[in-house]
Amino acid sequence: MKQTLITALDHAEEFAAYWIGRQFPRPEVALGEESQTPYCNWCGQNNDGLTHCTCGCRSLKWSRVIRLGMYEPPLSTCIIRGKYSRWHDVLELMGKRLGQRIRGCVPPNAVIVPMPMPFIRWWFRGINHSAVLAKYVARSSGLGRRNLLLRKESPPQAGMSANQRTQLNMKNIRPRPFGKLHGKPVVLVDDVLTTGRTLEVAAKSLRSIGASTITVAVVAVTNLPETIKKVDYAPLTP
């Protein structure tokens, strides 16, 4: 019964998104060809493989980052229009491409988990972009999907500086009641990795309910200056 309801809601969402998305160009045209630029598998920043990445001085809560590209046009434009203009079709395409990159890179029992969105923000935007991305990442990669996290309402990070982002309180993201992973690996899906603070808080919550490893899968990574890469984060304590 539960799975039938989820399937029905998915179909209703796709039907509504079709009519909303008709005002936009085809996603393949807007998004362009996929980028294959080399990047650091730990922080996601561009790296030619020959120079040492400064992320080694940080203690990250995940084991790997998988991304589509850097946060720059046309990728950044598609992300913004997907989030704020409810362009479901481009979120679907980005999710499918990200799922194709994940396939074969994580264990077959890995679970796709979307970054949670506060309910009030979801209500006003009319779309939960991370959940849409995660749905198509799961379909494209052939992995299971579960919503295991809740997020407290807080100011959107889009208007914050990098240093302000690093102060996210650990209590803002917590596991859902009775959610357990029992040692399964997790692929945590979000749209953009900037400082990584939100993803680290979410990763710690997933560890607390039994995640064995955390792989971060994002559409884009923001290019940060070296001083920000080496910033001292507030401790992840309750």
Q: What is the mean pLDDT of residues 86-107?
A: 95
- Please tell me the predicted confidence (pLDDT) of residue 231: 42
Q: Is residue 11 very low, low, confident or very high in pLDDT (cuts 50, 70, 90)? A: low
- Please tell me the predicted confidence (pLDDT) of residue 229: 44
Q: Is residue 117 very low, low, confident or very high in pLDDT (cuts 50, 70, 90)? A: very high
Instruction: Provide the token pair at 162.
Output: 């990098």
% of residues, the chain, pLDDT over 90: 52
At residue 22, does pLDDT exceed 90?
no
Instruction: Provide the token pair at 123.
Output: 């209500």
Is the overall model pTM greater than 0.75, yes or no? yes
Question: For 47-83, how does the pLDDT look when each residue is reduced to its tens digit (9 = 90+)?
Answer: 876 567 777 667 788 999 999 999 999 999 999 999 9
Instruction: Provide the token pair at 82.
Output: 């997907």
- Please tell me the predicted confidence (pLDDT) of residue 163: 54
**184 phi/psi in degrees, rounded to 5:** -80, 145
- Domains of the chain with CATH codes: 2-229 (3.40.50.2020)
The average confidence (pLDDT) of the chain is 83
Question: For 179-238, how does the pLDDT look when each residue is reduced to its tens digit (9 = 90+)?
Answer: 899 999 999 999 999 888 889 999 999 999 999 999 999 999 998 765 444 444 444 544
CA 65 to mean position of chain CA atoms: 10
